[in-house]
Amino acid sequence: MIEYRIHGRGGQGSVAAAYLLASAAFEAGYTCQAFPSFGAERRGAPVTSFVRIDSQPIHLRSQVRTPDFLIVQDDTLLMDRGITNGLKPGGAMIVNSRRSDEDVAEAFGCKAKCIPATELALEYIGKPIPNTALLGAFLAMTGHLPVEALAAALKGRFSGPVLEKNLRLIEHVGGLVPAGAWKEAEHA
């Protein structure tokens, strides 16, 4: 089983990211879970979402406390030094940031990849919602699921110009990151 924790702020699509990742896993033939955890429901409040993916039935019904990977949708959340709490040894995080990968990796003691996901989202879809860009880059780096599975998940959620813009975005971000760079981190 691979477990993911997604950190973001209300309005950034953290819950949608979890559902899209789980839908992509389902499209690829895996068993999956996706669920959020948040306090006050307001734009800008911290939000955490969780995803589990496995080839076997998943019987756990708890929050993800020891994720294999983190997806951080807002780099201001890196001010919380505990954001990586529970991250498994060899785990990694992708961050919506212009900071250098090396600075974030050194600060948190894990592999890190930073991409300007909000800027890319504004350029491709016209909205500051970084989730699709982060998922596209993340899947390209891990190889956990084919990008076609994410495209199918997007087709289940969007249509028309919004879908086309998101599909172009995931294709673009896949070329910005080293494909398969975190493939070995899956079972580290």
Q: Which residues contact 126 (CB under 8 A, 6 or more apart)?
A: 165
Average pLDDT, stretch 34-40? Answer: 80
Average pLDDT of the segment spanning 152-168: 97
Mean pLDDT value of segment 12-29: 96
Please report, as a single letter, which amino acid is at residue 128: P
Structure tokens at 2: 């691979």
What pLDDT shows up at residue 11? 87
> H/E/C letters for each residue in 45-89?
CEEEEEEEEECCCCCCCCCCCCCCEEEECCHHHHHCHHHHCCCCC
**DSSP-derived secondary structure letter, 147:** H
pLDDT at residue 41 in the model? 64
pLDDT of residue 39: 64
The pLDDT mean for the chain works out to 94
Question: What's this model's pTM, rounded to 2 decimal places?
Answer: 0.93
Cβ atoms within 10 Å, residue 175: 10
Can you tell me the mean pLDDT for 73-77? 96
Cβ atoms of 99 and 135 closer than 8 Å = no
Fold of 2-187: Pyruvate-ferredoxin Oxidoreductase; domain 3 (3.40.920)
User: Which tens digits make up the pLDDT trace of 104-129?
Assistant: 999 999 999 999 999 999 999 999 99
In this structure, are residues 68 and 30 in contact, taking their beta carbons and an 8 Å threshold?
A: no
Instruction: Specify the pLDDT at position 61.
Output: 86
d(CA 19, CA 137): 17
